[in-house]
C-alpha cells in the first residue's frame, strides 16, 4: 500500500522542540494535487505540522527505547492502587505517577510516556510539572484522547470507542500543554465475532482520530486491540488481525493520514488466553511478523506492541523474538502492566520503598530495551515477573 504522503526524511526531535507551550508550526505546506488523465484526482496532504510529526515519530521509535503507558483512567488507576491497599485519591495517584516519571535514567530505555489528562496537567509531589520532568529525561509526553468504550448498537454485544466530538480543540490544547503524540484505543472481540460492523467502526474511528490529531500537531498511536479473551487458537487470531489491519489502513488512506507520522500499537498474534494450546515466543514472532509484513506499509516508523495481559517476562520474550532479524519498522513496546506490575507491588504505597520500586521499573525497562535490540536473555527474572496478568473481560 502506498503511503498517504510524500516527504523528505527528517531528523529526530531535539528535546528543546517539545517544550510546553512552544508553538512549532512550520510555514503551511500546500496541498499537492495530482491530476491524472481521468476525472478523479489524488489528494496528498502535507499539513503545517508534517515535518514535526515525522521527527516526533522517529524520536519515539528510536533504537533500544519504547513507550511507558501510564494513561490509566482515574478509575482504573484506583483498581491498581486498591490492589496494594491504597485509596483512590488524587494524592495517591500523584505519588505513584511521580515515582514513575522521576525514576533516574528512565529516558535511556523509554522514549515516550502516555499520560491521562489529569497527569498532563499535574505536578509531581515536589511541585514540578510532570511534563517538564519527562522532557528533562528526554521522554516525549503523550496523551490518551479517547473517551472509552460503549456498546455498539446493531452488533453482537460489541463495543465502539467514543471521543471524536471536540477532539480537534482538545488535541490543540494538549499540544500547547506539551504533548506531542496521542493514543486512541478501541477493541475487537474474537468470541463476539467480530462483526463486519464492529471492525469497520473501529477502523473508521481510528482513522478520523489520526487525521484530527495530526492536524493539531500530535502523532497518533493507532491501537485496535484484539482482545486476548477466548478459547480460539493462534490461526484464528491471525485471520482476524489480517481483516482488522486491512480495514484500518484503508480508512487511514481515505482520511489522508500521514503514514510517516503515525505509530501503531497492535496486539501480538497469540492464541486466546483460554486456549489449551499455548504458543512459544518463536511462534508468536512468526505469526506476528507475517501479519505485519502483509498489512503494514514500511512508511510506518514504529510498531509499539501492547502487552494485553501477558506476564512481564512473556511480553519481553515475545518482543525479543521479533527482533532477531531486521524489520522495515522499529519494533518495540508500549507496555503498562508489563512494565509496572512488579514496580507497583514493590512500592506498596510506602515512601521508603520508592527507590526500590524505581529500580524494579528500570529493570523491566532495560529488559524491554534489550528485547527491542534482540539481546534479551531472560536470565535472573523474578517469579513475580513471570506471573500472567490476563483478566477476563478486563475494562481499561
Q: How many CA atoms lie within 13 A of 138 on its CB side?
A: 14
Distance CA 34, CA 43 (A): 7
Cα torsion 333, 104, 121, 48: sign = negative
Q: How many CA atoms lie within 13 A of 222 on its CB side?
A: 33
Per DSSP, the three-state class of 182 is strand
Catalytic residue, from 55, 58, 144, 265: name it: 265
pLDDT value at residue 41: 46
In a domain, 28, yes or no: no
- How many Cβ atoms from other residues are within 10 Å of residue 392's Cβ? 11
In a domain, 98, yes or no: yes
Please list the pLDDT of the chain residue by residue as tens digits (396 residues): 444 443 434 455 665 555 444 444 443 443 433 444 444 444 545 468 999 999 999 999 999 999 999 999 999 999 999 999 999 999 999 999 999 999 999 999 999 999 999 999 999 999 999 999 999 999 999 999 999 999 999 999 999 999 999 999 999 999 999 999 999 999 999 998 899 999 999 999 999 999 999 999 999 999 999 998 899 999 999 999 999 999 999 999 999 999 999 999 999 999 998 899 999 999 999 999 999 999 999 999 999 999 877 888 999 999 999 999 999 999 999 999 899 999 999 999 999 999 999 999 999 999 999 999 999 988 766 665 555 544 455 455
pTM: 0.86
Q: Would you say how long the chain is, in residues?
A: 396
pLDDT value at residue 112: 98
In Å, what is the CA distance from 296 to each residue of 122, 242, 394?
A: 36, 10, 27
Q: What is the DSSP string of 254-290?
A: HTT--GGG-EE-PPP----TT-SS---HHHHHHHHHH
Total domains in the fold of the chain: 1
Distance CA 192, CA 73 (A): 25
Range of the domain at 300: 49-377
Helix residue ranges, H only, the chain? 50-60, 74-82, 90-101, 117-120, 130-136, 167-177, 196-215, 234-254, 281-295, 312-322, 337-347, 354-372
Q: What is the CATH number of the domain that holds 270?
A: 3.20.20.70
pLDDT value at residue 379: 74
| Cis omega (within 30 of 0) for bond into 194 | yes
Cα torsion 146, 151, 155, 159: sign = positive
Per DSSP, the three-state class of 243 is helix
In a domain, 19, yes or no: no
In a domain, 394, yes or no: no
DSSP β-ladder status, 66-70 and 302-305: unpaired
Report whether 180 contacts 224 (CB < 8 A): no
In a domain, 145, yes or no: yes
In a domain, 7, yes or no: no
Nearest to 228 by CA among 273, 280, 276: 273
Quick check: is 223 catalytic? Answer: yes
Catalytic residue, from 223, 247, 260, 314: name it: 223
In a domain, 392, yes or no: no
In a domain, 16, yes or no: no
Amino acid at each position: 500500500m502506498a503511503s498517504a504522503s510524500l516527504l523528505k526524511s527528517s531528523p529526530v526531535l531535539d528535546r528543546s522542540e517539545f517544550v510546553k507551550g512552544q508553538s512549532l508550526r512550520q510555514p503551511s505546506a500546500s496541498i499537492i494535487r495530482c491530476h491524472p488523465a481521468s476525472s478523479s484526482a489524488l489528494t496528498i496532504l502535507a499539513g503545517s505540522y508534517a515535518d514535526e510529526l515525522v521527527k516526533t515519530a522517529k524520536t519515539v521509535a528510536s533504537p533500544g527505547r519504547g513507550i511507558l503507558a501510564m494513561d490509566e483512567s482515574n478509575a482504573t488507576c484506583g483498581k491498581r492502587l486498591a490492589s496494594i491497599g491504597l485509596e483512590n485519591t488524587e494524592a495517591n495517584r500523584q505519588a505513584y505517577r511521580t515515582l514513575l516519571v522521576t525514576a533516574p535514567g528512565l529516558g535511556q530505555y523509554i522514549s515516550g510516556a502516555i499520560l491521562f489528562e489529569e497527569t498532563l496537567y499535574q505536578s509531581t509531589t515536589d511541585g514540578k510539572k510532570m511534563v517538564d520532568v519527562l522532557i528533562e529525561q528526554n521522554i516525549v509526553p503523550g496523551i490518551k484522547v479517547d473517551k472509552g468504550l460503549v456498546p455498539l448498537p446493531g452488533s453482537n454485544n460489541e463495543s465502539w470507542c467514543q471521543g471524536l466530538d471536540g477532539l480537534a480543540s482538545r488535541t490543540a490544547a494538549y499540544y500547547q500543554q506539551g504533548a506531542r503524540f496521542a493514543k486512541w484505543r478501541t477493541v475487537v472481540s474474537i468470541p463476539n465475532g467480530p462483526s463486519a460492523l464492529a471492525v469497520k467502526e473501529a477502523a473508521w474511528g481510528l482513522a478520523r482520530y489520526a487525521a484530527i490529531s495530526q492536524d493539531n500537531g500530535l502523532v497518533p498511536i493507532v491501537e485496535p486491540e484484539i482482545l486476548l479473551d477466548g478459547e480460539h487458537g493462534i490461526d484464528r487470531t491471525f485471520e482476524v488481525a489480517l481483516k482488522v489491519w486491512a480495514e484500518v489502513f484503508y480508512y487511514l488512506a481515505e482520511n489522508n493520514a500521514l503514514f510517516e507520522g503515525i505509530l501503531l500499537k497492535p496486539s501480538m498474534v497469540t492464541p486466546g488466553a483460554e486456549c489449551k494450546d499455548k504458543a512459544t515466543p518463536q511462534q508468536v514472532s512468526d505469526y506476528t511478523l507475517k501479519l505485519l509484513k502483509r498489512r503494514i506499509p514500511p512508511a510506518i516508523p514504529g510498531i509499539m506492541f501492547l502487552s494485553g495481559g501477558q506476564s512481564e517476562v512473556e511480553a519481553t520474550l515475545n518482543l525479543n523474538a521479533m527482533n532477531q532479524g531486521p524489520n522495515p519498522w522499529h519494533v518495540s513496546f508500549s507496555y503498562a502492566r508489563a512494565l509496572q506490575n512488579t514496580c507497583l507491588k514493590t512500592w506498596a504505597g510506602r515512601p521508603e520503598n520508592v527507590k526500590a520500586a524505581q529500580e524494579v521499573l528500570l529493570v523491566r525497562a532495560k529488559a524491554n530495551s534489550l528485547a527491542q535490540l534482540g539481546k534479551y536473555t531472560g536470565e535472573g527474572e523474578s517469579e513475580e515477573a513471570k506471573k500472567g496478568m490476563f483478566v477476563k473481560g478486563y475494562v481499561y
